[in-house]
């Protein structure tokens, strides 16, 4: 065994390794060995970054826009974000209320570091995005899971929420449309959250990263539309990763009260300094340019969504809430837990993921990663051919379980 003279910090030891690491490693090894693994686990659009956005990046390089930028991001980009928010949503922010970060995830990290103290409790509707609990924990606070139920379309139930509130509750993280479910919180649920937040002085983090990928409705309920006063207590997280297929460029942005943004800038100034200058220019082309790209993607995703849902629920016992946004489905596989293949019992989502990878060469993400073991996440940001073949393989693999 390798000697361990130096030890890992306690706060990192407390973070649980991702439950999907083992399955991911196995999928990778199988692929490397030449196996025809169908990948339903990706969390990014299967489209290329639009040409005009790439052009923005190319011009930045050609013009040698390659030095440090202001800590919160270039003013032009923050102004473009402010303009887009004012025009599209009617929410008014000044550039000093906006921070551009190295991806949306990093914006959330900065928020948590700027907001939370040791012992603070942060409510996280569950199933949740995998990074919420560790980001809260790394800030010294405690993530508190608030279960959402499938039979309520995964909407937030105010009574359930209330039962998780304590004297230490500091805030809540909302994600609508959500990853992994694609659910959208109802106005009623958001009104209840807003009332509690106003009453108790909570901070609300609203992760809106999927708000341009919405099926069949023009506007969705938002916490800022519930009550004007909530703007003082809300931090908005968004970015170009999903809406412009720019996951690798690493540009996200946060909007909120000035003093919190100033604190986030302090953190950013002592960690990353600023996001990539070139990527900021590409993001500027995205935010200030034509906005039809997400609509084009959404139109392409819709028939895939409908196909995969129908294929999934054609398997006896599988139920699936229809996603209203994003590009994931989150079917309930628990009817198959307890069944066996060759005397090997499948007892949970990780074992199901392992089985589907071994026997059907399907790479998926087990629900345990999102705090909901009954479920499996399939991304439909992949071709119709892959989805069709994958659903055939799934049916065969499930039929072999006794």
Ligand X SMILES: *Cc1c(COP(=O)(O)O)cnc(C)c1O
Specify the residue, 42 or 401, whose C-beta has the smaller distance to ligand X.
42
Give the binding-site size for ligand X (rule: CB under 6 A). Answer: 14
Specify the residue, 274 or 334, whose C-beta has the smaller distance to ligand X.
274
Specify the residue, 361 or 377, whose C-beta has the smaller distance to ligand X.
377
Report which DSSP code applies to 369.
G
Distance in angstroms (rounded) separating the CA atoms of residues 131 and 226: 27
Specify the residue, 139 or 346, whose C-beta has the smaller distance to ligand X.
139
- Answer yes or no: are the C-beta atoms of 308 and 387 closer than 8 Å: yes
The reply on whether position 241 binds ligand X by CB under 6 A is yes
- Smallest separation, CB 346 to ligand X (Å): 27
The reply on whether position 207 binds ligand X by CB under 6 A is yes
- Smallest separation, CB 255 to ligand X (Å): 14
Hey, is 2 helix, strand or coil? Answer: coil
By CB under 6 A, which span of 77-85, 98-106, 188-196, 290-298 interacts with ligand X? 98-106
By CB under 6 A, which span of 99-107, 152-160, 263-271, 314-322 interacts with ligand X? 99-107
Tokens describing residue 335: 């009817």
Contact with ligand X (CB under 6 A) among 239, 275, 323, 390 = 239
The reply on whether position 252 binds ligand X by CB under 6 A is yes
- Answer yes or no: are the C-beta atoms of 99 and 107 closer than 8 Å: yes
Contact with ligand X (CB under 6 A) among 190, 209, 236, 356 = 209
By CB under 6 A, which span of 30-38, 55-63, 101-109, 330-338 interacts with ligand X? 101-109
In which region does residue 127 sit, left (phi positive, over 0), alpha (psi from -120 to 50) or beta (all else)?
beta
Distance in angstroms (rounded) separating the CA atoms of residues 376 and 353: 8
Contact with ligand X (CB under 6 A) among 56, 57, 95, 103 = 103
DSSP assignments along 43-61, one per residue: -S-SSPPPHHHHHHHHHHH
By CB under 6 A, which span of 22-30, 235-243, 275-283, 386-394 interacts with ligand X? 235-243
Report which DSSP code applies to 100.
E
Distance in angstroms (rounded) separating the CA atoms of residues 253 and 108: 9
In the shown chain, the binding pattern of residues 19 to 58 toward ligand X, with x for contact by CB under 6 A and - for none, equals: ------------------------x---------------
Contact with ligand X (CB under 6 A) among 93, 129, 185, 378 = 129
Using CB under 6 A as the binding rule, the residues of this chain from 271 to 310 that contact ligand X are: none
The reply on whether position 214 binds ligand X by CB under 6 A is no
Cis peptide before 127 (omega within 30 of 0): yes
Specify the residue, 328 or 355, whose C-beta has the smaller distance to ligand X.
328
- Smallest separation, CB 209 to ligand X (Å): 4
In the shown chain, the binding pattern of residues 163 to 182 toward ligand X, with x for contact by CB under 6 A and - for none, equals: ------------x---x---
Distance in angstroms (rounded) separating the CA atoms of residues 286 and 277: 14
Which residues, including other chains, have CB under 8 Å from residue 146's CB and lie 6 or more apart? 123, 124, 125, 126, 156, 160, 161, 164
Tokens describing residue 121: 């409790």
Which residues, including other chains, have CB under 8 Å from residue 46's CB and lie 6 or more apart? 381, 382, 383
Specify the residue, 85 or 129, whose C-beta has the smaller distance to ligand X.
129
- Smallest separation, CB 211 to ligand X (Å): 11
Specify the residue, 57 or 104, whose C-beta has the smaller distance to ligand X.
104
- At 105, phi and psi to the nearest 5? -60, -40
In the shown chain, the binding pattern of residues 356 to 375 toward ligand X, with x for contact by CB under 6 A and - for none, equals: --------------------
DSSP assignments along 215-238, one per residue: SS-S----GGGT-GGGGGGEEEEE
By CB under 6 A, which span of 76-84, 240-248, 314-322, 385-393 interacts with ligand X? 240-248
The reply on whether position 380 binds ligand X by CB under 6 A is no
- Answer yes or no: are the C-beta atoms of 30 and 361 closer than 8 Å: yes
Distance in angstroms (rounded) separating the CA atoms of residues 288 and 293: 13
Specify the residue, 183 or 247, whose C-beta has the smaller distance to ligand X.
247
Give start and end residues of each alpha helix (H) in 63-200: 75-89, 104-115, 132-138, 158-162, 187-200
Contacts to ligand X by CB under 6 A: 43, 103-105, 129, 175, 179, 207, 209, 239, 241-242, 247, 252
């Amino acid at each position: 065994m390798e000697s361990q003279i130096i030890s890992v910090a306690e706060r990192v030891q407390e973070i649980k390794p991702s439950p999907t690491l083992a399955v991911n490693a196995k999928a990778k090894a199988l692929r490397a060995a030449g196996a025809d693994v169908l990948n339903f686990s990706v969390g990014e659009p299967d489209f290329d970054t639009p040409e005009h956005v790439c052009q923005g990046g190319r011009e930045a390089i050609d013009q040698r826009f390659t030095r440090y930028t202001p800590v919160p991001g270039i003013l032009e980009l923050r102004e473009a974000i402010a303009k887009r928010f004012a025009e599209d949503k009617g929410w008014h922010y000044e550039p000093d209320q906006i921070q551009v970060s190295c991806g949306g995830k990093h914006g959330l990290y900065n928020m948590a570091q700027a907001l939370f103290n040791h012992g603070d409790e942060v409510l996280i509707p569950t199933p949740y995005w995998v990074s919420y609990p560790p980001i809260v924990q790394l800030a010294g606070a405690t993530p508190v899971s608030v279960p959402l139920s499938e039979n309520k379309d995964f909407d937030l139930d105010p009574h359930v929420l209330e039962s998780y509130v304590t004297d230490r509750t500091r805030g809540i993280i909302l994600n609508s449309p959500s990853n992994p479910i694609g659910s959208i919180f109802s106005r009623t649920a958001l009104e209840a959250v807003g009332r509690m937040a106003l009453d108790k002085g909570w901070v609300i983090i609203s992760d809106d990263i999927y708000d341009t990928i919405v099926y069949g409705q023009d506007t969705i309920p938002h916490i800022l539309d519930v009550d004007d006063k909530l703007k003082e207590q809300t931090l908005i997280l968004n970015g170009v990763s999903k809406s412009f297929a720019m996951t690798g460029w690493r540009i996200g942005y946060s909007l909120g009260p000035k003093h919190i943004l100033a604190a986030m800038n302090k953190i950013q100034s002592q960690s990353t300094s600023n996001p990539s200058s070139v990527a900021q220019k590409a993001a500027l082309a995205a935010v200030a340019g034509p906005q039809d790209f997400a609509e084009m993607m959404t139109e392409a995703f819709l028939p895939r969504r409908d196909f995969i849902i129908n294929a999934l629920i054609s398997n006896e016992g599988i139920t699936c809430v229809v996603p209203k946004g994003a590009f994931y489905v989150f079917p309930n596989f628990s009817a198959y837990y307890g069944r066996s293949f060759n005397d090997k019992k499948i007892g949970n989502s990780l074992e199901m993921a392992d089985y589907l990878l071994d026997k059907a060469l399907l790479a998926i993400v087990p629900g345990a990663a999102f705090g909901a073991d009954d479920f499996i996440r399939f991304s439909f940001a992949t071709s119709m051919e892959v989805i069709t073949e994958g659903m055939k393989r799934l049916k065969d693999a499930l039929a072999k379980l006794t």
